[in-house]
Copies of this chain bind each other. A is one copy, B any other.
Amino acid sequence: MEFTHIFKCLSDVQRLRILNLLSAGPLCVCHIQEILGEGQVKVSKQLRYMKELGVVEATREANWMIYSLPDPRDPLLETNLKYLLAQAGVEPDLLSDLAKRESLLLQAQKRDGGLPVAITCDESCPDEDCC
């Protein structure tokens, strides 16, 4: 993955927020939409942009497209995401986005366990008791 591609993705607040979410674990498009409060096309296109640059990847799970960060994580991307998240106030949405993500996943699992496993918590989730 080209380092310029990583910087291009990070240079837009919407994309940064998406990457911040994905760094906590895979997510489907509709959840990203709901957390960001943006429309379907807009989110889908940002994901496509980042996918073409190789910064995110996607797999299909029934009706859902599950987006995630490639494994292993690129250290350049990971370092920047951690830095920005740690800086309170740099991008205020990053923290609340993660909170919304957890409540969404919890709520989805309580409502019906039938959601694709990939979007529930997995080993990449830093929060042990998230799910």
Contacts and interface: CB of A to CB of B under 8 A. Distances in A.
B3 A12 contact: no
A26 B91 CA distance: 30
Contacts of A11: 4, 7-8, 11
A3 B79 contact: no
Contacts of A83: 76, 79
A10 interface: yes
A80 interface: yes
| Copies of this chain assembled into the complex | 2
Nearest to A91: B3
A15 B61 CA distance: 40
A13 interface: yes
A3 B76 contact: no
Contacts of A3: 84, 90-91
B7 A13 contact: no
Interface string A77-102: 00110011000001100000000000
Contacts of A90: 3
Interface in A5-58: 7-8, 10-13, 16
